[in-house]
A and B are shown apart, each in its own frame.
Chain A
Amino acid sequence: MASDMRHLRGQSACVGVATFGTGECPGWSSLEMMGKATLMALDDAGLKIGDIDGVWAATAVHAMPSMSLAEHLGIVPKYSSGSNTGGSSFMAHVIDAAVMLDAGLIDTALIAYGSNQRSWGGFRTVSEPVPFESDYQVRLPINAYALAAARYMHEFAATREHLAEVAVAARAWASHNPEAFTRNLITVQDVLDARMISDPLGKLDICLVTDGAAAIVMKRADQAKDFARPIYLLGAGMAHDHRMISEMPNLTTTCATESSWRAFGMSGLKPKDIDTVQIYDAFTINTILFLEDMGFCEKGEGKDFVSGGHIAPGGGLPVNTNGGGLSCVHPGMYGLYPLIEAVRQTRGDAPGQQIPDVNLSIAHGNGGVLSSQCTTIWGSVDTL
């Protein structure tokens, strides 16, 4: 049966996670930060460097990060990959790792990220120039997300206030999280009054520029049951339908529709089953689009769904409980952070506000300009 991953449901688990240098990490190289996060994640799992035999890494500034990391760690992996689909890379790496663990090709998978971009002076990338669009000196990724936001507002009579609700909720979660880089509460008016960057997106509609490193360790389920706090991969799916914003088939519907459909299909779950939602929110419009596209509300209803504190602390659905890329951390590529927040919430040891009785969390990654979408669903042992 093609394109069916149901046999992989619950067959692998995340057994260790760590974040390091979240916010500012002056004096450290990106590779050193990645190495430190790896040691911490191994320690969290109760494993050693020598146990790792599969390595995945992606950054905005390394062309061969898995080789650099493996060398730094002093290991000879059986397999490694630096596959880069932007901020969704790490969720995609989870799929790779789950398949290779299940196949018995590796026994212990490491997925890592590190960036010192803030301390180095801002966002940098080795990403290739976009043909034709580059002629117009388009500022990416911001202009692209602004074009999607403007179109969304046009099609669904949404306003900047609706977008601002996303930023206000993210900041409210961040205010509870000692790891978050920005923790002072903000209002919708603060978001509207912030300096405009690319209409309709102002400074507070746009993610932070921080340092940060993160790592997770995954094991096969038959091994994971012996670990202290395994969180099982129940569902995963990926899709991408463009690279440049001018090639996006529909500016207001991402192929998170497909990635989440596959992830929910593999897990046998539905959006209403999910306890916490961790979404790659590089811009306020992301949260609205992905909540719609993953089926938490209907297309066009996201603007109301995020309003009135519904996704904020005390609201109906906990979304981006660490504060997200908007208010917690955004070190160039943020994808491992929502993944780790999903695992931590499901383990019950989130550094910020822990949601009670979490058994199921979704971690959704986005890369490029709403281009690559990868959805992962994580569950406690009780959900197997």
Chain B
Amino acid sequence: MGPEEQYRAYLADGKFMIQRSVSTGAYVFYPRIFIPGTGETDLEWVEASGEGVVHSTTTNRRSPEKGGTFNVSLIDLAEGPRMLSRVVGMASEDVTIGMQVKARIDEIEGIPAVIWEAS
């Protein structure tokens, strides 16, 4: 199983896991078979702290008939890497850059996904 499928298997099991290089301690997301740029392959899966900060945010004004408006944000994980996700549980327009957020696992149209809410 490749790293993407492994990540999804963890998610389906209710776990938000990311990778870390044993030798350098550097974290990786999105999951890969090596550290991008340097190539270390000694990656282990560790549970993410689930803590993050909103790096940027937008409100995607999708039409109501297509499912309506939703938030799209870039989240800086406490471990370092950045991920694209959504901040939920509040009006999308009220999500601000620099906001502290906490991860939980939910589903978006049937696909398990890490999403974030104000912490």
Contact = CB atoms under 8 A, between A and B. Distances in A.
Given A137-B70, A147-B57, A198-B61, 9 more contacts: A132-B83, A138-B84, A150-B56, A150-B97, A196-B59, A197-B61, A199-B58, A246-B30, A247-B30
A245 interface: yes
Contacts of B74: 147, 245-246, 251
27 contacts: A132-B4, A132-B30, A133-B84, A135-B111, A136-B72, A136-B85, A136-B108, A137-B70, A137-B108, A139-B62, A139-B72, A143-B58, A143-B60, A146-B72, A147-B56, A147-B72, A147-B73, A150-B97, A151-B97, A154-B56, A196-B61, A197-B61, A198-B59, A201-B58, A244-B84, A246-B30, A251-B74
Given A135-B113, A199-B93, A246 B84 contact: yes
Interface in A173-218: 195-201
Interface residues of B, number: 26
Q: What does DSSP make chain B's interface, helix, strand, loop or mixed?
A: strand
CB-CB nearest 6 A-B residue pairs: A146-B58, A246-B84, A151-B56, A147-B56, A154-B97, A199-B59
Interface in B84-109: 84-86, 93, 97-98, 108-109
Contacts of A132: 4, 30, 83-84
A21 B2 CA distance: 46
Nearest to B115: A136
B15 interface: no
A244 B84 CA distance: 9
Nearest to A139: B60
Contacts of B58: 143, 146-147, 150, 198-201
B62 to A, nearest CB: 7
A27 interface: no
Nearest to B114: A135
Contacts of B72: 136, 138-139, 143, 146-147, 198
Given A136-B108, A151-B97, A198 B84 contact: no
